[in-house]
Amino acid sequence: MDVILFGPPGAGKGTQASAASMAAGIPHVSTGDIFRHHLRNGTELGEKVRRYMNAGELVPDEVVVEVVASRLEEDDATGGVLFDGFPRTVNQARLLRAWLKDHGRDVDVVVNLVVPDAVVEARLSGRRSCLACGATFHVQHSPPGPDGACTKCDSKVVQREDDKAETVRNRIDTYHSQTAPVLAWARDGIRVVDVDANQPIRLVREAVLAALR
Ligand code: AMP
């Protein structure tokens, strides 16, 4: 089964992805996580994507598509994948679908997490992240442990460069101008399930899992 977990930054895609990928028995592929891994490790790819990520802009399609294509060649991806943060342009979406069709697969469902812009802005600006294990916190709703340590791995929790206020606005604008059109494209021939993601995490999870059944 191939699933696209869709929605603006801060919609909760990362939060919902692990339960969803476990339930569907497919690996979670987050292009943002892959890029952050390369940034942390100072690889050539990391250097290539740094300025786009820090500015809240999209990494060029050809770079993203190459990264995803090589991830799809890995053994655990042959039975399907849960995509998180990809595709983010109609071009990426078309190329993904063409690749899947070439391999006898297709996008089975797009789960669209719907959240108002004002909520996204508040969530992202208050978000704090553990760059070591990926756990996320919120300054008001779920603060990290004492001394700002991660409650899962004890590393230091920080504000992601791209969660700073100015960049957050840019990411939301980028979502509307370049990523939201993927939805209109998907609705023409792919099953799209809209999920209200402005409700408690547990309820969102139930709705996401129902969409995968
Ligand atoms: P995310 O963690 O999904 O919000 O991604 C963080 C940043 O990585 C984005 O703001 C983009 O700069 C970059 N990025 C991640 N996925 C993509 C994608 N599919 N296309 C272009 N840029 C991406």
| pLDDT tens for each residue of 86-114 | 999 999 999 999 999 999 999 999 999 99
Q: Considering only CA atoms, which residue is closest to atom 1 of ligand 1?
A: 32
Active site residue 88: yes
77: exposed, middle or buried (Cβ count in 10 Å: 0-12, 13-18, 19+): middle
Q: How confident is the model at residue 72 (pLDDT cuts 50, 70, 90)?
A: very high
Q: How far is the CA of 95 from the centre of ligand 1 (A)?
A: 17
Q: Considering only CA atoms, which residue is closest to atom 19 of ligand 1?
A: 86
Q: How far is the CA of 179 from the centre of ligand 1 (A)?
A: 11
Ligand 1 atom nearest residue 88's Cα? 19
Does a structural domain hold residue 141? Answer: no
* Ligand 1 close to Cβ of residue 124 (< 6 A): no
Number of domain units in the chain: 1
Does a structural domain hold residue 23? Answer: yes
Active site residue 164: no
- 112 contact partners, CB below 8 Å, separation of at least 6: 6, 7, 183, 192, 193, 194, 195
Q: How far is the CA of 1 from the centre of ligand 1 (A)?
A: 23
Q: How confident is the model at residue 119 (pLDDT cuts 50, 70, 90)?
A: very high
Does a structural domain hold residue 159? Answer: no
Per-residue pLDDT, 193: 98
Mean pLDDT of the chain: 96
How far apart, in whole angstroms, are the C-alpha atoms of residue 114 and residue 112?
6
Per-residue pLDDT, 134: 84
| pLDDT tens for each residue of 139-188 | 998 999 989 999 999 999 999 989 999 899 999 999 999 999 999 999 99
Domain that holds residue 22: 2-116+179-212
| pLDDT tens for each residue of 1-48 | 999 999 999 999 999 999 999 999 999 999 999 999 999 999 999 999
Q: Which residue has the tokens 């603060």?
A: 143
Does a structural domain hold residue 155? Answer: no
Does a structural domain hold residue 27? Answer: yes
Does a structural domain hold residue 166? Answer: no
Does a structural domain hold residue 12? Answer: yes
Closest listed residue to residue 15, CA positions, set 1, 33, 2? 33
CATH number of the domain at 26, please.
3.40.50.300
Per-residue pLDDT, 132: 87
Per-residue pLDDT, 95: 98
Active site residue 205: no
Among 28, 35, 124, name the best residue to mutate to test ligand 1's pocket (greatest count of ligand atoms within 8 A of Cβ): 35
* Ligand 1 close to Cβ of residue 59 (< 6 A): yes
DSSP string, 120-183: HHHHHHHEEEETTT--EEETTTB--SGGGB-TTT-PBEE--GGGSHHHHHHHHHHIIIIITHHH
Active site residue 152: no
How far apart, in whole angstroms, are the C-alpha atoms of residue 26 and residue 195?
20
